[in-house]
Structure 1
Amino acid sequence: MRPGSLAGGAAALLLLTTACMGGTAEPGKDAAAGYDPNATVEITWWTGQTEEAEKVAERLAAEYHTAHPNVTIKTSTGAPTTDDLLTKLSAGFTGGTYPDISYAYGSWAGDLGASGKTQDLSEYVQQPSFGWTEIPEAARQTATSGGKVIGVPALVDNIALIYNTKLFDQAGLTYPTDEWSWDDFRNAARRLTDAKTNTYGTAYSVSGSEDTTWHLWPLLWQHGGQILDGTKPAFNSDAGVAALETLRQMAVDDKSMYLDQTDERYWRLFNSGRIGMMLSGPWSLIELKEAKLSYGVADLPGFNGDHQTVSGPDLWVLFDHGDANRAGATRAFTTWLTSAETDAKWNLAVGNLPLRSTEASTPEFAAYVKEYPGGQKFFDNLANAKQARPTAPGYEELSRNVGDAIAEVLQGKSTPKQALDAAAKKSADALVN
């Protein structure tokens, strides 16, 4: 999940909610029961990718068709941007024009799972040949909604601390380590901040998007808190208040935190040498390479020695059209696409972390680490992604409410307790429904 990956607008949520009332998948029925692997079939793949990655997807689809001439894969981005896919899927549910497989942000899993249109892959992925446990646990949890596996992780990532070595050297500071506390982080942010040069120690998105929200979750978990208690909001606990207070001190008291209204500006400022530290993911390595910036990567700062991070895995969600051959062919293609061999041609080729642990010893991963310094650290940091964001219907709305609460607090308009309590109250009904 990259900066700017919004949780989805209200219009998209409304469309999806409407579609959810008309689900057609039969509970307990295997969508691929009776699948004939030799049947001639066409499946539709919405990749949700940028132009460059879409070309890679098209080449892979052609490669699969060459090996399986009876399967034609109709490939497209699916929507103008990845953020638009949820709206397009929602409209497709209503009109019967949804794809066989689509890219989806992990934060959409709860609402897509509730649509009644997804396949249940729970038994399928447990087949030994699939290698389900080679994929990080947090990503596997994200692919599970309503007690069933609705897709396969398409991308895995996490958040770590990226720092500008030049700014640290100029300030006479030692570089961050994997053992840093949030106090260490705060102290460094203060010393890196220079109002005369408009340089900030760190940055945070206050756009109210999922990029705003998910950066809070590691601090919440490190303090022993939870996002939900069953289906009830629990992020406004003492742990949640303490987590948000940590950020508030830097933004309001120290003024060492650049507040980004767009999700886009803070990483650009980091790349131009105006921000000393940012909490970001492996997607940033691509831009850092282009910026030719001297940087380092360390684990997230921790609380009481807990350095948990958050993973924002995206998914390949598989849909049911009541056609066993389409369902079976889609499963077979997804299995091939997410295999260690093919993933090296996909995720590693476009600058993402490898999907499976078994790729760590491949030449492709060695080349990735060499091309993107810090890539090994992000790969190792997957072990610190011990929990997943909820995949319950209503997380979309919860995320927007929490994002707005964080933005209010960091801009000095509310206290952590007041803002999180208000967000919990707003989110309660959405989670029940």
Structure 2
Amino acid sequence: PAIWNWFVYEGKRIAAPKYTSPMVLYYNVDAFNEAGLGYPHKDWTWDDLLNVSQKLTKKENGRVVRFGFQESITLYRLVMWIWQNGGGISPEGNRSICILDEPEAIEAMQFIGDLIWKYNISPRPGQALTTATDEAQEANFMAGRVAMQEQGSWPMAYYPEQCKFEFNVAHLPKGPVKKATMLTTDCFAVYKNTKYPDLAAELAIFASGPVGAWWNQKYAAMQSALKPMAEQFPGMFPEKYNAQV
């Protein structure tokens, strides 16, 4: 897969991918049922996300106790929304130029900003755990403080047991221009000044190879970067989950 090429620099491999995961939409099925709403589907748009999030946001005594949607405010997650609006971080083939000041990027970031500050269907600082870390976002979802969130595959390792409500996954909504998501990964690499280069290299090769990838996929719900194994990933989960997205 192309993800292996991410870790090649000047013709040399400098690391091996740990996993690969697209970003998807997790949603609280019980919250949708309570509000009498249809579930997210592949043709959802930004407008659908906003409208449904407003209906899912719940207040008690003037205080938001459940937000409709939560998105990470880190740039590498925001780029999906920029792509959906026809923009990007850099022009294709030229990473020396930044185009985040172009209208397509500004509009996308404004959309996410409005979810927080204009409509408040996403938490502001202090209203919920920080949106800058996966752990905090996941804690908000598991506690029922947010009805929808964008995340990778790994919560499937613990959401089924930790969530006290029914949940499922769906595609991210389509932007004004197109559909887009992103693949995320981590990597295994060896520190060049390690005292044990051979052992470190052996561990990295093992961890990124078939056995290590199998354990990571099975117990951490991180889809393997090895194509034959990755193709088995959706079948690892009960049919009620839309794991094929």
TM norm structure 1: 0.48
Asked if the contact 1:223–1:303 (Cα under 8 Å) also holds between the matched residues in 2, the reply is: yes
2:22 alignment partner, SS class:
coil
Establish whether residue 376 from structure 1 lines up as the match of residue 236 from structure 2: no
Q: Unmatched 5+ residue regions in structure 1? A: 1-134, 207-211, 378-433
Shift of 1:226: 2.2
Question: 1:387-426 alignment to 2 at 5 Å?
Answer: none
Q: Name the structure 1 match of 2:84.
A: 222
Establish whether residue 155 from structure 1 lines up as the match of residue 23 from structure 2: no
Q: Name the structure 2 match of 1:389.
A: none
Shift of 1:238: 1.2
Q: Which amino acid in the other structure matches residue 216 of structure 1?
A: L
Q: Unmatched 5+ residue regions in structure 2? A: none
2:75 alignment partner, SS class:
helix
Shift of 1:182: 0.9
Asked if the contact 1:154–1:315 (Cα under 8 Å) also holds between the matched residues in 2, the reply is: yes
Q: Which amino acid in the other structure matches residue 202 of structure 1?
A: F
Measure the CA separation in 2 of the matches of 1:182 and 1:322: 48
Q: Name the structure 1 match of 2:29.
A: 165
The 3 A distance-change label for structure 1 pair 151 and 254 is same
Question: 1:171-186 alignment to 2 at 5 Å?
Answer: 171-186=35-50
Number of residue equivalences: 232
Asked if the contact 2:85–2:177 (Cα under 8 Å) also holds between the matched residues in 1, the reply is: no
Question: 1:72-91 alignment to 2 at 5 Å?
Answer: none
Q: Name the structure 2 match of 1:254.
A: 119
Shift of 1:159: 1.3
Shift of 1:254: 1.3
TM norm structure 2: 0.80
Q: Name the structure 1 match of 2:220.
A: 350
Shift of 1:342: 4.3
Q: Name the structure 2 match of 1:275.
A: 146
Q: Larger relative CO (CA 8 A, sep 6+): 1 or 2?
A: 2
State the structure with more CA Rg: 1
Asked if the contact 1:158–1:281 (Cα under 8 Å) also holds between the matched residues in 2, the reply is: yes
Per-residue deviation, residues 81-114 of structure 1 (Å, max 9, x unmatched): xxxxxxxxxxxxxxxxxxxxxxxxxxxxxxxxxx
Measure the CA separation in 1 of the matches of 2:240 and 2:75: 27
Q: Name the structure 1 match of 2:107.
A: 242
Measure the CA separation in 2 of the matches of 1:170 and 1:186: 18
Sequence identity (%)? 21
Shift of 1:161: 0.7
Shift of 1:353: 1.6
Establish whether residue 198 from structure 1 lines up as the match of residue 69 from structure 2: no
RMSD: 3.0
Measure the CA separation in 2 of the matches of 1:366 and 1:245: 34
Establish whether residue 307 from structure 1 lines up as the match of residue 179 from structure 2: yes
Shift of 1:308: 1.3
